[in-house]
Amino acid sequence: MKKLIIGNFKMNTKPSEMKAYAMSLATKTTESKNEIIVCPPYTSIAIAKQFLDGSNVTLGAQNVCDVEAGKCTGEISASMLKDAGVEYVIVGHSERRSKFKETDRLVNKKIKTALASGLKVIVCLGEDLVERQNKHANAVVKKQLDEALKGIYENELESVVIAYEPIWAIGTGKNATVKDVQSMTNFIRREISDLYSEKAGQGINVVYGGSVTISNYKKLISIPSVSGALIGGACLDVDNFAMMCRENF
Ligand code: PGA
């Protein structure tokens, strides 16, 4: 089954390192049946584009400004990303929510701005450890999801990927169990069915992220309610990432 394999480089891979990575990933994934998306830092997007053109790999970005125009020193607009050859953008990553104080409302604005420019969005949601221990994970994810999708129409959902990323699993080496991922991704689908329709809940792409590695990716990505994975640390090793991209799930 075709899955989405998404690499989130975070603040890694300089322009001088991008060419070798892109060339290597392009050649190692020619036979892949999956949809592969790499999200390098802004400064490496142009080089990635140059060396991924004509390959099976699509380009994503890690962030976008919530407005399309204005005096916004240091920001990058959705149409700039589109013009640079980017097709996807990650929105609402937990690192941006915590370190850069991004709220659900801002995440919703970013999603609308990105969709209006023709970008697809990868919307990150997930609870922290205390919330999980207190059995509030579903409520937290439901709130984030409801707020993120406010004002988004059902026909726009084909451009929306939901990434369930429990915060306690990101970069910690502690991935969620198959049971937890199964239960939360099904919960997200049910919630989308309630918000829109049964068809929307079944059809939306819901990926898992959080310490996905070469040793656990098969069992996590093979879960039927999981559409793929958002992979941070483990995407930086091009051989391992390419191997995950080539898998037949
Ligand atoms: P990780 O990061 O795979 O390094 O845990 C995932 C993410 O932050 O998207």
CA–CA distance, 106 with 23 (Å, rounded to integer): 35
Q: Which atom of ligand 1 is nearest to the CA of 212?
A: 3
Which amino acid is present at 246?
R
Q: Is 0.95 topped by the overall pTM?
A: yes
Q: How far is the CA of 232 from the centre of ligand 1 (A)?
A: 4
Residue 146: what pLDDT? 98
Residue 111, pLDDT > 90, answer yes
Res 147 pLDDT > 90: yes
pLDDT band at 159 (very low <50, low <70, confident <90, very high): very high
pLDDT of 175 reads 86
Rounded to the nearest angstrom, the distance between the alpha carbon of 175 and the centre of ligand 1 is: 10
Q: What is the 3-state secondary structure (H, E, C) of 15-53?
A: HHHHHHHHHHHHHHCCCCCCEEEEECCHHHHHHHHHHHC
Which residue in the list 93, 95, 102, 191 is annotated as catalytic?
A: 93
Residue 228, both tokens: 């793929």
165 is known as an active-site residue:
yes
Q: How confident is the model at residue 7 (pLDDT cuts 50, 70, 90)?
A: very high
Please, what is the average pLDDT of the chain? 97
At 213, which amino acid appears?
Answer: T
7 C-alpha to center of ligand 1: Å?
9
Q: Report the nearest-CA residue for atom 1 of ligand 1.
A: 232
Locus of tokens 């509030």: 136
Select from 193, 220, 218, 217 the least CA-distant residue to 204. 193
With DSSP H G I counted as helix, E B as strand and the rest as coil, what are the percentages for the chain, rounded to 5? 45, 15, 35
SS3 category, 162:
strand
Whole-angstrom distance, CA of residue 222 vs CA of residue 60: 23
pLDDT digits (tens, 9 = 90+) for 192-207: 999 999 999 999 999 9
Instruction: Report the SS3 class of residue 227.
Output: coil
Q: Report which protein residue has its CA nearest ligand 1's atom 3.
A: 232
CA max distance for the chain: 48
C-alpha–C-alpha distance, residues 2 and 238, integer Å:
20
Instruction: In whole angstroms, give the CA distance from residue 77 to residue 56.
Output: 25
Distance 71 CA to ligand 1 centre (A): 32
Residue 63: what are its φ and ψ, rounded to 5°? -165, 165
Domains of the chain: 4-246 (3.20.20.70)
User: What's residue 247's pLDDT?
Assistant: 97
Q: Whose CA is nearest to atom 9 of ligand 1?
A: 232
